[in-house]
Amino acid sequence: MADYDVLVIGAGPGGYVAAIKAAQHGKKTAVIEKEHLGGVCLNWGCIPTKALLKSAEILDGLKHAKDFGLKADNVGHDFAAVMKRSRDVANGMSKGIDFLLKKNKVAIISGTASFQDAKTVVIAKADGTTQTVTADNVIIATGHKPRTFPHLPVDGKQVVNYRHLLALTEQPKSLLCIGAGAIGMEFGYFFSTLGTQVTVVEVMDQVLPVEDAEIAKVVERQFLKNGVAIKTGTKVVKLEQKAASVVVHLEKAGVAETVEVEKVLVAVGFLASTEGLNLDKAGVKLDERGFIQVDGNQLTTAPGVYAIGDVAGKQLLAHKASFEGEAAVAAISGHSQPVDYTQIPGCTYCQPQVASVGLSEKKAKELGKAIKIGRFQFMASGKAKAIGHPEGLVKLIFDAEHLQLLGAHIVGYDATEMLAELSVALRLEVTAEELMLTVHAHPTLSEAVMEAAADALGVCVHQ
């Protein structure tokens, strides 16, 4: 008999959810983690960055206290204390994962895993010893590593990735973010709000390239208004490091430019973290992009070996990883519960926030769909005006024939907290009329969803 029914490699948001679900299904389960329970998301990504962003939001609010008839003089910040709070939040959450795993009787094994064969894993311990375990089923959940390029050498001091920024104790006077995806824009917002001079460079023609273009434009305008330099359609040619700065050589449409900054953040995507796993010994193959090849049930090319989360590609998002973990456990338990990747929501937590699910306007048109669009500007929302955040809008994409919801896009304050309603609506194939006829409490930001649906039908009252 094998030591375990299910062995999970990696305890991130995919791995620990899979391990707990397997244990709840009556499987004898263990999870192997080489660093911190909760993975990158909880320790060095999703959670600590949101703690930082909240500090920035509060500081920004205090700076505008006069707009609300309030007095908040000599407002400032303690950078080291802000960073410490972020780490404390992450550490507390990691301890919570430890509790949940133990509560569900999941064995926790510390060390670095590698395959001996598809059912045998060797764990290298920190003290130099090894442990060999066997399992009927193995779930690989080892996550990602930052993508690097030869002309963007990360040294961890002047040229850094997101993890290095989260460990800073001194605030840089200037920062250039290479990449205007979620990481670049979130850190750009955080540091600029605290007073760092920020430049964001993106090779594509818009910030947040995966988002709807109209939505991304709202974010860009707000960043520019706040003093952030935005350079889209621009590539970084090389980095020239000096004693106390980095000269960044840029090029746009054949025109060269240089920007000198204290630090450079490289945020240009991710690769699957598979080094040292000895996947070939297990019979696990990679796809053409270097991610682990899986089927609809997360099964790899090796019987009994599954892969979930960032290491398996597609959307590199924590909630996607968790749902893939559930899909893998369902398959192991004799059921099929594949993830519908067309309904994975995406969120960016800078201000204004961005939240989306389903098709963008551009993607819908590329697919040849006839569409109707409903919009509602937060400028016309009583709640948005009352809280001092009238920027942004709700944009809904409907099928022109049946007016079924195809995609939803929100940019504005607390946009990420408004998205779940639209995720449910997309899953249930709700129509514009059904959204419009759903009574939304007044005054709320979510009324904008109802109004955008009404706009698609040509009967919006409030704009």
| CB burial readout 250-264, b (16+ within 10 A) else e | beeeeeeeebebbbb
d(CA 142, CA 453): 41
Contact of 136 with 333, CB cutoff 8 Å: no
Q: Which of 375, 407, 372, 406 is nearest to 392 (CA)?
A: 375
Is the Cβ–Cβ distance between 106 and 29 less than 8 Å? Answer: yes
Task: State the CB neighbour count (10 A cutoff) for residue 367.
Answer: 10
Nearest alpha-carbon partner for 206 in 223, 225, 194:
223
Task: Count CB atoms within 10 A of the CB of residue 402.
Answer: 10
CA-CA distance, 42 to 64, in Å (whole number)?
Answer: 31
CA distances from 7 to 1, 115, 270, 340, 358 (A): 14, 12, 25, 25, 33
- Supply the DSSP symbol for 60: H
CA-based angle 412:417:423, to the nearest 5?
A: 105
CA atoms within 13 A on the CB side of 131: 13
Q: Are 57 and 47 in contact (CB under 8 A)?
A: no
Q: How far apart are the first and last CA of the chain?
A: 68
| Residue 422 one-letter amino acid | L
Nearest to 310 by CA among 289, 331, 329: 289
Question: Phi and psi dihedrals of 248, rounded to 5?
Answer: -100, 120
Strand, coil or helix: 282 = helix
Nearest to 41 by CA among 416, 287, 343, 320: 320
Query: Which of 77, 440, 442, 462 is labelled catalytic?
Result: 442
Q: Which two tokens stand for residue 385?
A: 């005006």
Q: Which of 349, 34, 36, 27 is nearest to 219 (CA)?
A: 349
Q: How far is CA 110 from CA 87, 319, 344, in A?
A: 21, 24, 31
Task: For residue 409, indicate whether it is catalytic.
Answer: no
**Catalytic residues, which ones?**
442
